[in-house]
Amino acid sequence: MAQFHCRWRNVFVCVCTPCICLLLMLVFLTAMVCMSMNGAGAPGTNVQETPSHSVAPNDLRKKSFIPHAKTFWLAQDEGAFWNQLQLAIERYFNPILRPNDFRKRMENSNFNESLLMESFIELMDSDSMRKNFDKLSWQMQKFVSHMQKRDYPAIIQPDGVCGAGAKDEKEPPLLLLAIKTTEHNYKNRMAIRQTWGKEGWVSGHKNSSGGRESGGYVRRVFLLGREDPEEEDVSLSELLQMESEHYGDILQWDFTDTFFNLTLKDVLFWSWFSGSCNQTVFVFKGDDDVFVNTPNIITYLQDQLNKSQANDTIADFMVGDVIDSAIPHRVNNSKYFIPDSFYRGLYPTYAGGGGVVYSGLLAKRLHEISKSVHLFPIDDVYVGMCMIRLNTHPIHHPAFLTFDFPEKEKKELCSYHKILLVHKRTPKQMVRLWADLKRTQRPCWDVPLRNAVKK
Ligand SMILES: *[C@@H]1O[C@H](CO)[C@@H](O)[C@H](O)[C@H]1NC(C)=O
Ligand SMILES: *[C@@H]1O[C@H](CO)[C@@H](O)[C@H](O)[C@H]1NC(C)=O
Ligand SMILES: *[C@@H]1O[C@H](CO)[C@@H](O)[C@H](O)[C@H]1NC(C)=O
Ligand SMILES: *[C@@H]1O[C@H](CO)[C@@H](O)[C@H](O)[C@H]1NC(C)=O
Ligand SMILES: *[C@@H]1O[C@H](CO)[C@@H](O)[C@H](O)[C@H]1NC(C)=O
Ligand SMILES: *[C@@H]1O[C@H](CO)[C@@H](O)[C@H](O)[C@H]1NC(C)=O
């Protein structure tokens, strides 16, 4: 009787186990297919954590609003030039469709470049895309016809390894100031060198109850392209050469310094940084017409490092004036104008390019991931596009005033003590504001950083 029972149990096990296994496999396969059809798999992107973007209420009222998908991924619309180009790359790197050598492919940079080139040539061969190209403005056409090239050589480089710094640094630099400028803006560079961009040891902000003595070494580098060859001024480039010999803070590449070429300053900077700034903890990247409260930045960054979870979060760290779900400018008299034949969908979350701070570790990750993201003509949006592919996003801080103070706040005695950055200020104003900061140090000791509700 017992044997009989046992045999039946064996039959039961033999028949049902494969059935259950098959069923489970079916469920698994269905889930995989659904996920890959959604196109959710992206280089370095965790499927569950892909952030979705909601549309700000006031954006809905705008006439230029176009229907879009819930996530940046689904906005990879067919038809628009850039989206189409990038889609080929996303398909290639999709870790779900092609899981085996995903890591290897991601890390093989030469291959990524040829892949970018292939997808470009393929697209330019199609009739509809060529018609599309013909309709673009001449600036945009100029951008498109050079968007495959990013290996511009450096003409001038700092002699110190990672920009100008103190000779006797006793610890690795805490912060590298990387400032976008042009050959013409000599006055801005001079004002920055004398004020918020001084290299060497910078003490953090200290309040009346003592707080703690903190500080860090600061380095500085200016990022430039060349003036348009047709208007090139020989004396200007000679001056820049002299400036470099004197200050050692010039990093100039051999491309034309135009608005649509600004993205090159990001990718070339990341490349240079990865090779020359091994130990620098943080990077500030911003314009040469902003005023930065460097001591406040130092204190803010020290506080970040002192958080208990700092070691886990630092590789993702980026802070600035964060813009979410922005709509591309669709009016052709704006310098930000992007026609929808070029890019369709919302922009990803990004930090305004006037001034943003991120970790050195993140800079190196951006350098790697940018090799599989086609250049985009708006530089800060491009950084956002790379960030989303690293499955991370910048954090917003209201002390980054890339749209200046609200009118009332500007006149307060301590307003500049409450900020990390404000746009925009002339060289003369920078010098005066820097002196004011020192002069009002005592009465403004205890003001905390600005923490208002966003716009
Ligand atoms: C002074 O700074 C310390 C450390 O940053 C902070 O904890 C403290 O609250 C500050 N004191 C005042 C009066 O703002
Ligand atoms: C960017 O720089 C390159 C190299 O100088 C130049 O050929 C190209 O026209 C520039 N692109 C734009 C959009 O100005
Ligand atoms: C960076 O610095 C670390 C520690 O000093 C060293 O081990 C590593 O080889 C350096 N990397 C490069 C690329 O120089
Ligand atoms: C880090 O924070 C703790 C308190 O949270 C403080 O006692 C310590 O002095 C801080 N260390 C540094 C290096 O700022
Ligand atoms: C982070 O890691 C470093 C070395 O790996 C260690 O010295 C430091 O104490 C860690 N910091 C925190 C906040 O855990
Ligand atoms: C800008 O748009 C207007 C109206 O749509 C059009 O007439 C004009 O030709 C456009 N200009 C350029 C430079 O594309």
Residue of higher predicted confidence among 332 and 396: 396
Let me know whether 335 and 259 are in one domain: yes
59 is a domain residue: no
Let me know whether 204 and 261 are in one domain: yes
Q: Which residue has the least CA distance to atom 3 on ligand 6?
A: 332
pLDDT score of 75: 47
Let me know whether 382 and 248 are in one domain: yes
| pLDDT exceeds cutoff 60 at 419 | yes
pLDDT score of 73: 52
Pocket test for ligand 4, best of 212, 298, 302, 304 (most atoms within 8 A of CB): 212
| Across 289-313, average pLDDT | 94
Residue 47, both tokens: 């499927």
24 to each of 19, 27, 29, 31, how far by Cα in Å? 9, 5, 9, 11
Let me know whether 219 and 73 are in one domain: no
Let me know whether 141 and 273 are in one domain: no
Cβ(253)–Cβ(224) below 8 Å: yes
Let me know whether 318 and 277 are in one domain: yes
| pLDDT exceeds cutoff 90 at 70 | no
- Show the DSSP H helices in 52-137 as ranges: 57-60, 81-93, 102-107, 109-124, 127-135
Cβ(393)–Cβ(387) below 8 Å: yes
- 101 confidence band (pLDDT: 50, 70, 90): low
- Is the C-alpha dihedral spanning 355, 357, 360, 363 positive or negative? negative
- 60 confidence band (pLDDT: 50, 70, 90): very low
Cβ(137)–Cβ(332) below 8 Å: yes
322 to each of 179, 295, 336, 347, how far by Cα in Å? 19, 22, 17, 12
- 224 confidence band (pLDDT: 50, 70, 90): very high
Name the 3-class secondary structure at 225.
Answer: strand
Sequence letter at residue 105 = R
Pocket test for ligand 2, best of 152, 226, 252, 255 (most atoms within 8 A of CB): 255
Buried b (16+ CB within 10 A) or exposed e, 91-101: ebbbbbeeeee
Residue 109 burial by Cβ neighbours in a 10 Å radius (0-12, 13-18, 19+): exposed
The mean of the pLDDT values for the chain is 84
Residue positions counted in the chain? 455
167 is a domain residue: yes
Q: For the chain, how many structural domains are there in total?
A: 2
Ligand nearest to the CA of 302: 4
Q: Which residue has the least CA distance to atom 12 on ligand 4?
A: 306
> Could you identify the atom of ligand 5 that is nearest to the CA of residue 307?
13
63 is a domain residue: no
Cβ(65)–Cβ(113) below 8 Å: no
Distance of alpha carbon 264 from alpha carbon 260, whole angstroms:
9
| Across 302-310, average pLDDT | 92
| pLDDT exceeds cutoff 80 at 257 | yes
| pLDDT exceeds cutoff 90 at 8 | no
8 is a domain residue: no
Sequence letter at residue 314 = I
Query: Cβ < 6 Å from ligand 6: which residues?
Result: 137, 332
pLDDT score of 62: 34
Let me know whether 274 and 325 are in one domain: yes
| Across 12-41, average pLDDT | 64
275 is a domain residue: yes
Distance of alpha carbon 159 from alpha carbon 98, whole angstroms:
44
pLDDT score of 13: 59
**Per-residue model confidence as pLDDT tens digits over 140-184:** 999 999 999 999 999 999 987 899 999 999 999 999 999 999 999
| Across 68-85, average pLDDT | 64
| Across 222-231, average pLDDT | 91
Let me know whether 181 and 231 are in one domain: yes
The DSSP symbol for 412 reads S
Residue by residue, DSSP assigns 19-34 as HHHHHHHHHHHHHHHH
Residue of higher predicted confidence among 127 and 95: 127
**What is the enclosing helix (H) or strand (E) of 4?**
helix 2-37
**Per-residue model confidence as pLDDT tens digits over 368-395:** 999 999 999 999 999 999 999 999 999 9
Ligand nearest to the CA of 305: 5
Let me know whether 159 and 131 are in one domain: no
| Across 64-79, average pLDDT | 47
**What's the maximum distance between 2 C-alpha atoms anywhere in the chain?**
106
Q: Considering 395, 410, 427, which residue would you say is the last residue of a domain? A: 395
Q: How far is the CA of 277 from the centre of ligand 3 (A)?
A: 10
- 33 confidence band (pLDDT: 50, 70, 90): low
Q: Considering 344, 372, 395, which residue would you say is the last residue of a domain? A: 395
Q: Which residue has the least CA distance to atom 5 on ligand 5?
A: 311
Ligand nearest to the CA of 337: 6
2 is a domain residue: no
40 is a domain residue: no
| pLDDT exceeds cutoff 70 at 46 | no
Cβ(400)–Cβ(277) below 8 Å: no
Distance of alpha carbon 423 from alpha carbon 403, whole angstroms:
6
47 is a domain residue: no
Let me know whether 82 and 189 are in one domain: no
Residue of higher predicted confidence among 257 and 122: 257
Identify the CATH number of the domain in which residue 273 sits.
Answer: 3.90.550
Q: How far is the CA of 162 from the centre of ligand 4 (A)?
A: 28
Q: Considering 97, 119, 145, which residue would you say is the last residue of a domain? A: 145
Say which range, 69-78, 80-89, 435-444, has the weakest mean pLDDT: 69-78
Domain residue limits at 207: 154-395
Name the 3-class secondary structure at 56.
Answer: coil
Distance of alpha carbon 401 from alpha carbon 394, whole angstroms:
15
Let me know whether 119 and 227 are in one domain: no
Let me know whether 290 and 387 are in one domain: yes
Q: Which residue has the least CA distance to atom 9 on ligand 4?
A: 212
